[in-house]
Structure 1
Amino acid sequence: MRRPIPLIGDQSQNRIAEVSNQRSINFEPTYNKPNAKTPMALYSAPGLKLDAIVGVGPCRSNGIKWGGSIYFVTGNSFVRREPSGVWTTIGEINTTGGWCVISKGRAYIAFVDGVDGWAYDGTTFAQIIDPDFPAGATHLSYLNGRWAANQGDSDRFYLSGTEDPYAWAPLDFATAEANPDNILAHIATNRDIYFLGKDTIQVYFDSGSLDFPLAPYQDVIEMGIDAKYSLAKGVQGLFFLASNEEGDRMVVKAMGFGITILSDDDLNWQINKLPVTNDAIGSLYRHKGQTWYQLTFPSADITYILNVDKGGWYQRKSANIGRFRVSGIGFLDGKVICGDYTSGRMYQLDYDSITEDGNTIERRRTAQVMQVDQRDMEHNELVVDIKTGVGNVAGSDPLMQIRYSDDGEHTWSSWLTASMGKLGEYNVRLKWSKLGTSPNRVYELLCNHQAEVHIYNAYLEARTLNS
């Protein structure tokens, strides 16, 4: 009897692999409408199309749109991409490494790199040299004409002069003192500024006071931020890698004073066992009608991506490394522009590209454990329903491989191969026969050919052998 099997799914690696060790690498798990062919499918994650080579890199910031163009920091350069595709170097800065946070106001766009501050008004680019500019600022926020900058390794933040990121006064400061933790990050959203510490978050609003306009709400959010550069904002709220007083780390969304945990227990386990997490970098972007939050752990060399709108995590991995090579991300005129973490290569995230700038994207899906009351099952034939006829040029024959494990992934079978169909061969069926007997079976699919890969469902013809 042929029956559907649970091959499709998102990232779900339990701390005990024999329970669940599901991995979706370079596959986007997508929940479909009720009348679709299948409730969930795995679609090819987008490729990378080279947009330009801008200096030597690496990309050191997310992209911020201002004045009709998008701005990044790459290497020691502050750069702009216009809608026409022309890239321009605005100016050079003093550092070549470390993450930068860019913020935009009415008349200026400005950024900090943890050492210096810089600003640009569309004509002049210059360093902020006011001696009262806070030392070691890691973040800039703009609210109602004033810029806020945190003083490094402290719970203090300062405000600039009105519409002037170059002017700072020694007494225009406040202390986020509801809890004795330093300000690690801050961001303006919905006419408030959130100041995030290790254990708590304080939210400030514009009180209109002439002496110092920002005042704190009485409530405090009992959750902090673990990785200061994981913070990203969108219309759905603020996204970041959080921490609590117990030291647990999880991915959350903050909206108002509410916190929603976005990572499930399995992903939390994977994150908390990483030796270093506080260097994680977050990016939020919208691509082809869906919103995505990307979280990269540079020290651990791993990237996770969340479908914010529909739920579901997957792992993104580039050739010959563990992580996704994209670092900063921005959006301009329907294009997702992103930068490389090692070079000056700037890309477009592109569903029509089946490679990462010419490099093959290896796509892998490890399914959940298949078992029926621990009874032996004879696996006679496995059929995988995918998009076929995906050869990228006439004559090419992309292949899908499967293997299986019957002992909790301690050992695996040899790889078995089937054709996904040459260009135009749409009636090809992927199937493998005589797959042996097992009471506990895990299947893994792999495609390392340059092809579009979409998996819709899987079916198994099997027979139970004992009671």
Structure 2
Amino acid sequence: MTWQPVQIVGGAYRDDTRPFSCQDTVNLLPLKAERPGGKSEWILRSAPGYRQFVATQNRPVRGAHNAEGLLLMVAGRTLYRVNTNKTTTVLGTIPGVGRVGMAHNQLEAGNEIAIVNGQSGYVYNTAVGALSPITSAAFPGSYVVDYMDGYIIGVDPFGRFWFISDLNQATKYSTLDRQDAEAQPDKVVTAIVYGDLVLVFGERTGEFFENTGAETGTFQRVRGVTMDIGCAAPHARARMDNSIYWLGNDGNVYRLQGNSPVRISTSAIEQAISGLNWSNAFAQVFEDRGHKVFYLTFPDGHTWGYDVLSGEWHRMQSFGLNRWRLNTLTSWRRKWYGGDFSNGKLYELDWDEMTEDGAPLVAERVTAVSHAYGNPIIVDGVRLEIDVGRADVGVSDHFCSISYSDDGGHNWSDPAMVSIGQAGEYRRTVELRQLGMTRERVWKVRISSPAKRDIIAAAWKASGGRS
């Protein structure tokens, strides 16, 4: 028998009919080689872990925003400025417990950062260093805000209309600068800026608006350009890679191509989220080292990530949870920072950190089905090639576990624990022998090592057995 390749790399694609496909990819990023000549065509890259940057006594982190180098964070009911020396400065109070929307404009001597919680709004003026409530009678409240051409954009929390502020005045609003759904009667859910347009999502439709330059009624609908896809939740949309990504009202995930929605979710993901609460879903993005990832978190379910670089989906999952701990992702000073959903901490993400602030960051890959078209197979061995990086002396859990299923992922063998390298080693081949007879096999690899653990390739020794 000779070693034959096993499809180890792939995205998350776990169908309800598991013998058809039970693939899963957790805390790993599928990455395709961009040039020939590598060890394999794909690898599974370790997702970045994180360590504490600042800690607050308030929870959760409800929102974060980088306003031209000034990082603001809402944790609990408190608005903080995050300082480069890993301290925070209290700036004021933002009532509520849910997510907040944040956006900023430009002033002659600084910025105005608008912060909304659904019922009310607040503005932090960097020029005077003061936080004040929006008291304009024409401001209805909003769950989300965005910025375009000097205007702060919001959506009425009852879905009646969307609106803009006065020009370069985040605290002032007019009832004359409101727009409702025009193409079809539809409740407005959210809005987001797309290039030189505003994309306004209803429950069932999407419309585009442009700045006409008029003193009132400044934004008008672009005629003849509509979508028959709405958005499922106010925060379930994000801007990335010169496009808009969102969770549609039909439970599919879309990317905007031109002015048309293109489905990027798979039937497996749509099955997985079908029974969840879509109204609480929220989106965020991560763009680093070529990866451009749209993350969609369901607080009552999982966190799914779509990477434009590979076109594959994966999951992020924190230890002891179904979802990822990170409630926010913000780029600041050429690094990425994530806010915790429960403890008020802000973390610094790091590709070389393989824990979640000291907690295990467990990577898992469940492979595609290996089979011989129903013929019996004797499995003499399986081999994995893992680039593990350098483990510190004294590290005791530099191991992986390997198990397998012969019934499409319903039942699994007892996991075999295998070392993936001693201190000072970089590349490790892991091998198991005498693994029985089967007609099909799925492999599960789990790694919780605090050092790098990129999965490069896999192979097995298998031959035909007697029926």
Do the aligned partners of 1:404 and 1:444 also contact (CA within 8 Å) in 2?
yes
Whether 1:111 and 2:110 are equivalent positions in the alignment is: no
Query: Offset at 1:83?
Result: 4.5
Deviation for aligned residue 1:163:
1.3
Note if contact 2:285-2:293 (Cα within 8 Å) is conserved in structure 1.
yes
Provide the residue aligned with 2:314 in structure 1.
314
Q: Does the Cα contact within 8 Å between 2:119 and 2:157 map onto a contact in 1?
A: no
User: What pairs up with 1:376-395 in 2 under 5 angstroms?
Assistant: 376-388=376-388, 390-394=390-394
Distance change in 2, residues 1:397/1:185 (3 Å): closer
Verify the 8 A CA contact 1:391 1:397 in the aligned structure 2. Answer: no
Alpha-carbon shift at residue 179 of structure 1 (Å): 1.6
Shift of the 409–149 alpha-carbon distance from structure 1 to 2, 3 Å rule, reads: closer
Report the secondary structure of 1:304's partner residue: strand
Contact kept, 8 Å, 1:240 with 1:252, in 2: the verdict is: yes
Task: State the 1:94 CA deviation.
Answer: 2.2
Aligned mates of 2:428, 2:80 — CA distance in 1: 48
- Give the Å deviation of 1:64: 2.3
- Please give the residue correspondences for 1:215-226 in structure 2 after superposition, counting only pairs within 5 Å: 215-218=220-223, 219-226=225-232
Cα distance change, pair 215–431 in 1 and its aligned pair in 2 (3 A): same
Q: Matches of residues 23-172 of structure 1 in structure 2 within 5 Å?
A: 23-35=24-36, 36-61=38-63, 63-83=64-84, 85-95=86-96, 97-107=97-107, 108-122=112-126, 123-134=129-140, 136-172=141-177
Partner of 1:413: 413
Equivalent of residue 260 in structure 1, options 258, 262, 266: 262
Distance 1:403 1:235 in 2: 38
In the TM superposition, residue 441 of structure 1 has moved relative to its aligned partner by: 0.9
Shift in Å at residue 47 of structure 1? 0.7
Task: Give the TM-score normalised by structure 1.
Answer: 0.94
How many residue pairs get aligned? The number is 458
- Partners of 1:428 and 1:221 in 2: how far apart? 51
Q: Could you tell me which residue of structure 2 aligns to residue 233 of structure 1?
A: 239
Cα drift, residue 417 of structure 1: 2.0
Query: What is the identity, as a one-letter code, of the residue corresponding to 2:244?
Result: L
> Any idea what SS the aligned residue of 2:235 has?
helix
Contact 2:104–2:152 (Cα < 8 Å) also in 1: no
Whether contact under 8 Å (1:369, 1:440) holds in the other structure is yes
Alignment of 1:277-288 (within 5 A): 277-288=278-289
**Structure 1: how far apart are the matches of 2:40 and 2:152?**
49
Give the residue type in structure 2 aligned to 1:234.
M
C-alpha distance 86-289 of structure 1, shift in aligned 2 (>3 A): farther
CA distance in 2, matches of 1:189, 1:423: 49
Deviation at 1:364, TM superposition (A): 1.3
Matches within 5 A, 1:268-279: 268-272=270-274, 274-279=275-280
Which structure 1 residue ranges, 5 or more long, are not aligned? none
Change (3 A) 1:154 1:427: closer
Confirm or deny: 8 A CA contact 1:307 1:313 kept in the other structure.
yes
Contact 1:390/1:420, CA 8 A, preserved across alignment: no
**Are the aligned partners of 1:68 and 1:83 in contact in 2 as well (CA < 8 Å)?**
no
Between the aligned partners of 2:310 and 2:92, the Cα distance in structure 1 is 40
**3-state SS of the aligned residue for 1:60?**
strand
Report the Cα distance in structure 2 between the residues aligned to 1:333 and 1:426, rounded to whole angstroms: 31
Moved more, 46-55 or 442-451: 442-451
Query: 2:252 aligns to what SS in structure 1?
Result: strand
SS at match of 2:106: coil
Aligned residue identity for 2:349: L
- 1:115 aligned partner, one-letter code: Q
Identify if the C-alpha distance between structure 1 residues 461 and 207 changes in structure 2 by more than 3 Å, giving closer, same or farther: same
Structure 1 residue 202 and structure 2 residue 207: aligned? Answer: yes
Deviation at 1:393, TM superposition (A): 2.8
Alignment correspondent of 1:250: 252
For the 8 Å contact 1:250–1:271, the answer to whether it is kept is: no
Which 4+ runs in 1 deviate beyond 6 A?
none
Q: Which amino acid aligns with 2:42?
A: M
> 2:177, 2:218 within 8 Å by CA — same for their partners in 1?
no
For the Cα contact (< 8 Å) 1:155–1:177, is it kept in 2? no
Distance in 2 separating the partners of 1:80 and 1:34: 43
179, 198, 203: which one aligns with 1:193: 198
**1:397 shift after superposition:** 5.6
Deviations 1:259-317 (A, max 9, x none): 22221222222222x231221111012123321111110022x1111212222111111
CA deviation map 1:42-91 (0-9, x unaligned): 12111111101034121112x32213222222211222224454432221
Select between 144-153 and 452-461 the one with higher mean Cα deviation. 144-153
CA distance 1:197–1:53, shift in 2 (3 Å): same
> In structure 2, do the counterparts of structure 1 residues 217 and 428 end up closer, same or farther at CA, with 3 Å as the change threshold?
closer
What secondary structure sits across from 1:224 in the alignment?
Answer: coil
Q: Once the 2 structures are TM-superposed, how far is the Cα of residue 41 of structure 1 from its aligned partner?
A: 0.9
Q: Which 10-residue stretch deviates more, 336-345 or 281-290? A: 281-290
For 1:3 and 1:42, the matched residues in 2 are separated by: 19
TM-score (norm 2): 0.94
Tell me if 1:344 matches 2:331.
no
* Inter-partner Cα distance in structure 2 for 1:229 and 1:331: 18
- Contact 1:396-1:422 at 8 Å conserved across structures: no
Q: Distance in 2 between matches of 1:401 and 1:140?
A: 46
Write the letter of the residue equivalent to 2:459: Y
